[in-house]
Structure formats: C-alpha cells, structure tokens
Structure 1
Amino acid sequence: MTVTADTAGVPDLATLQRRAAQRAAERAGGQDRLRGHIVCDGLVRIFKTEGIEVVALQGLDLVIDRGELVAIVGASGSGKSTLLNILSGLDTPTAGIARVAEYDLLSLSNRKRLSYRREVVGFVWQQTGRNLLPYLTAVENVELPMRLAGRGGGSRARRERARELLDLVGVGYCADRRPGQMSGGEQQRCAVAVAVANDPEVLFADEPTGELDEATGAEVFAALRTINAELGVTIVVVTHDHAVAGQVRRTVGIRDGRTATEVRRTARLDADGNTELVSEEYAVLDRTGRMQLPVAFVDALSLRDRVRLNLEPDHVEVRPGADGRQERGSAK
C-alpha cells in the first residue's frame, strides 16, 4: 500500500515527521533524551464491580518516542480508552509499569498527579462540549489554563500566546466567538489550542473526530499534525477512524487488552521523484515471546486450541494442530 503525499504546497507527512523530531529534540535538550517518552511494560488494569473482575488491560507493552504522533486503534472494549485514561492521569493502573516523561504513574501522590495533569499533559475529549467553557470566547478559553497554572506572564502575554495558538490550528478568526457561535470542527481545533496552552510535553486525544464528518475531521487532524510539527509535542490519538489512523507514521492496534499489531509508514521517492509512504503491518511480539495472530488468518485456516510451529531458516511456520482433520494450509 502506498500513499502519495499532497503536492499542493502542503508539507507531506515525512516532512512533518522530521520537523516534529527536530522540535522534540530542541525541547528535550538533545537527541539522547528522545527515546522512551511514554513507556508501558506489563501494564494491567482490573475493574471490580459487584464482585466481578473485568481485566481491561492484560500486560500491555508500549513505547512511544518523544515527538511521535501515534494513533491507537481497536474495537470497542479492547482497552484503548482505559490505556488513554491511565496515561493522562485520569485513572490508576493495577500493576505493571506506566511512565510518561519520567513520571511513574503508579506512585503519584494526589498533589503530583494534579501537577502532572496541569503541566505535563494536555487532553482533548471526543465531545466538543467538554473541551470549552460555553460562556468564554475562544481566546479566553485558551488563556484559562495559563491563568490557573500561573503561567504565560502577564495578561497581555497570555492573550498574545492564545491568539498565536488559535492561528496555529487555523481558527484565529474565531478568537472572539463563544463555542455556540462555532462549528464542531472549529470547537475541536480550539480545544487543541486549549490543550497545549501550558506547553505540555504530551497531548492525548480521545476520538477527537468521532462527532465530525470526514472533511471536518481531516481539518482537526491537520491541526494535530501542525502542533506536533511546530511545537514538538508528543501526540497520542485514540480513534476508530482508519482514515485518520492512516495519516500518521505509526498506528498501534490493541486487542483484548494487549498491543497486537503495528502499522509503520516509511517515506521513499517513487520513479517520478515524488514522496510516497509505504505501509507495512507487523504483529507485535512481547518480551515473553507472545503475539496475537490476525483474526483473518485464524479464521482462514480454522486455527483452534493449538497449532504446530516449524522453525525455518528465515521464518516461523504456523500450521493447524492435529485434530483428525486434514491440514488446510499454513500462516507464515
């Protein structure tokens, strides 16, 4: 699968990725601090209700580098929203390791958790009404986090920064409008500006285009890409929209509370000298050697209960186990 970059004066995805990495390095103070901005190792989250335990995350592993823009996809109930709530400081994991920007999310005190949520991370909700206060204008909404945190200098400096951020996400013309005077897409782009008002290291977005049509959703995602490229903010987007997920260099698929797949897109030049993105999908192998076979593979070969593994010089062969039926094929 290849995706040709837009040549109508808009930076292609590879260019935006390089710019984001450069800005992230500047924020981090050097290349040696780029890796492992978000780390999950054996992450477990168990919910208990009326004596019933529900395991939402079952030993999830994930590493996201500083400056990356990553989409996390998965079916309803796969654990992706639980993961986002833990990483954003809204929930506490049951066991394992969850670290964001050197903050250990399992051991944060209430005071440090509040500081983490106010200064280190930003958040954009799916519901547009949750992101903005209806009685404030767009510029006042962006100023508010800076005022609450005592950041941004004086009132004039905060106002200037708020207007700059609104311009950056393409809604500077909405500065003096209240949310009720804006479209859903304009509200979400304002919400992105609010989320980065305090210059967080990481921005989390939970289905930010879920209530928008395709064209409007593309505008919101373009705003996220711009923030990533211009400010070097690490961005994690949870989405079910595969069209949105296809606009990032890395998409992580979650299934049954574990990371199951990754799609990585690398840039290369085609025969005409144009930049194109080549997509490759991988199964994720955790540190104990476990991986999840794609459901389509399992169904196609009627794999059940147990399988045969054969080690070949350059691959591992997976065949249906002996159960009295004739073997129908193999997955390599």
Structure 2
Amino acid sequence: MTLVENAPDLASLQRRAAERAAARAGGSDRLRGHIVCDGLVRIFTTEGVEVVALQGLDLVVDRGELLAIVGASGSGKSTVLNILSGLDVPTAGIARVAGYDLLTMSAKKRLAYRRHTVGFVWQQTGRNLLPYLSAQENVELPMRLAGRRGRAVRQRAAHLLEMVGVGYCAQRRPGQMSGGEQQRCAIAVAVANDPEVLFADEPTGELDEATAGEVFAALRSINAELGVTIVVVTHDPQVASQVRRTVAIRDGRTASEVRRSARVGADGVEEMVTEEYAVLDRAGRMQLPSAFVDALALRDRVRLTLEPDHVQVRSGDDEEDK
C-alpha cells in the first residue's frame, strides 16, 4: 500500500468525474459497465499464419472512469483499443461500449458510433490535427462535419482549448505549437462532439516527462469536468500515479490491476492509497506476476492449498514428486 502525492487533488477529481458521469447517465444506478469485454478474442491471419492477439480478455470499465491499460509490446493492449474504438472487429467474445455491440454493428452504425459516441487521440500528433488549420479550426471541424454551425461551435471550441490549458494556441497552426500543446489540442478535438468515451493510444509516447504530465493533467480535467469515460493505452511507468485504475495485459489477457482510492487516515487527513491485485477471470484463472514466478522458480505446475482465508501456491517440484 503506497501513499500517492497530491492525493487530495486526485481524490477531488475522482469525485467530480463520478458526479458528472452520473448526471450524463441520468442516475447513479446506470454507472456500471460502460465498457464490457467478456472472453474477447482477436486472431490475425497473415499469409496463412494465425496470430492470436487476444485470448479471452475480460474487462469492465465504469461510466466516468479514467483507466490506463499497460503492457509490453505485443501484449494486445493496442488491439483492445482498436476494437473498442470501432477501428477493428473482434473474432469472438463480447465487446460493448455505451450499449453498442461491436461484433454485430453495421458499417453505417459503426461510422455514427465513431463520429458521436467515441473520441480518439493518436500517439502521432500528425494524425490528430490538420496542419493547415489553426487549433480553433481543428476543434471546430468535427462539430461542423456533424452539421453544427454558428456561434455555439466557436464558443465550445474556445472553451475546450481553455479546459486543456492551450487557449493561448487558438490561432496557431500545429507547426507553431510544441508536441505537448498539439496533444492537448488533439484531446479537445476528440471531445468536440461530446462523446461518451475517449480513447488515447500512447498519447505521451513522443513527449518528455514534464510535458507528458501536462497531457495527463488535460485528460484528468476532461474526465472531471465533462464526465467522459477515458481509456488510455500507455507504456509510461509514471502513469500509475496519474489515473485511478491501471490494468496490465499480458499474452492477450488481463493479468493485474492497480487501484487508487481516497481514504481518511488515522490522523483524519484524506489520503490516496494504492493497492495491486491479480485478475481472476470467470474460469478461475489468473496470471502470477513474472517476478513471483522467477523468485520461486515456479515451472510447469504448482501445488495449491486452500487455507481458511487464502490460497497457498507452492512449487510442484518437491521431494514427493521425485
């Protein structure tokens, strides 16, 4: 259990996000399961060779939550994001976002889903912004494509740029902004049409630590002020202190979770505590952390012993097996 710095600020943002999410949903009884993956499978076939990217992944994200998905290269984290954002179609399983079934969605409905229900931020800034438009015009563009016109469009664009901390860049083109400013502008573009969910794929992958912190602050602000559910895929180890829940994916399955919550300490001061969990799927399977496996030299099989309040895991290669 670890105390996270700036806990009261993060706890306050969490409460505000939950309140805004409840308002968007029309009541707190509808907060559960804004995003649901159950037994999600994705198999790619290239030149007759099948590659299994997801092997029965399970994931539930509450409405208004700010979640980070982490994992090594090839773990399947980007595949999950592409499926949930409507850019890819799963092979099998269940994938639902905001009531949409992503396996059975028609092409027309998928286009509407990507235009109105979800927003997306790419790692490469060049994929997020049109270089010949100003920041203000880039944010206005999704609204104009959706048929909105007039002063309200300009006002919302200006408000979103201020919310992510780059209001001063309104009349600048992307080439006149830093990488961090471009990514914060991209976040404003992604939520221009007031989506229910925002997906971000490595949004700080090309930024230094200080600038990455500014981008995550913008994401937290959007989450808290608009109640938008946010899922971020990242390899940044600093993300653990930036979000309320981190899910680790390994070999195409959810392996562990880190959760942060506000608690009142013995001295009466509110603090943010961090706890790590292994993930148990519906079949009762879980992945032991690789550090544990290596430390105890666990191989092939293990012995399980049920105790009154825990399960003991021991190496199966003891003297009785020899």
Q: SS of the counterpart of 2:4?
A: strand
In 2, the alpha carbon distance for the partners of 1:101 and 1:173 equals 34
SS of 1:4's equivalent in the other structure is coil
Q: How many residues of Structure 1 are paired with residues of Structure 2 in the alignment?
A: 321
2:259 corresponds to which residue?
264
Q: 2:34 corresponds to which residue?
A: 37
Give the Cα separation in 2 of the matches to 1:245 and 1:73.
10
- TM-score (normalised: structure 1): 0.94
Question: So what's the TM-score if we normalise by structure 2?
Answer: 0.97
What is the CA deviation profile of residues 66-102 of structure 1, one whole-angstrom value per residue up to 9, with x for unaligned ones?
Answer: 0000011000000000000000000000000000000
1:271, distance to aligned residue in structure 2 (A):
5.0
Aligned to 2:243: 248
**Distance in 1 between the 2:261 and 2:240 partners?**
14
Instruction: State the alpha-carbon separation in 1 of the partners of residues 240 and 277 from structure 2.
Output: 15
Q: Is the 1:201–1:234 Cα contact (8 Å) retained in structure 2?
A: yes
Matched with 2:277 is: 282
Aligned counterparts of 1:314 and 1:5: Cα–Cα separation in 2: 34
From 210, 217, 239, the counterpart of 2:212: 217
The answer to whether the 8 A contact 1:4-1:275 is kept is no
Decide which of 17, 20, 31 is 2:17's aligned counterpart.
20
Residue 245 of structure 1 deviates from its aligned partner by 3.0
**Once the 2 structures are TM-superposed, how far is the Cα of residue 324 of structure 1 from its aligned partner?**
5.1
The structure 1 segments of at least 4 consecutive aligned residues displaced by more than 6 Å after TM superposition are none
Q: Does 1:122 align with 2:123?
A: no
* 8 Å Cα contact 1:86-1:92 kept in structure 2: yes
Kept in 2, the 8 Å contact 1:72–1:252? The answer is yes
Please say if residues 5 and 275 of structure 1, whose CA atoms lie closer than 8 Å, have aligned partners that are also in contact. Answer: no
> How much does 1:325 deviate?
9.0
- Residue 82 (1) aligns with residue 83 (2): no
For 2:237 and 2:17, the matched residues in 1 are separated by 22
CA distance in 2, matches of 1:297, 1:108: 42
Q: Secondary structure at the match of 2:242?
A: coil
- 1-side partners of 2:231 and 2:265: how far apart? 30
How far residue 247 of structure 1 moved from its aligned partner, in angstroms, is 1.2
Distance in 1, Cα, partners of 2:122 & 2:87: 12
TM-fit CA distance, 1:272: 5.1
**Native 8 Å contact 1:125 1:206 kept in 2:** yes
User: Please, what is the CA RMSD of the aligned residues?
Assistant: 1.5
Q: List alignment gaps of at least 5 residues for structure 1.
A: 328-332
1:206 and 2:188 matched: no
Q: Quick check: 1:178 aligned with 2:173?
A: yes
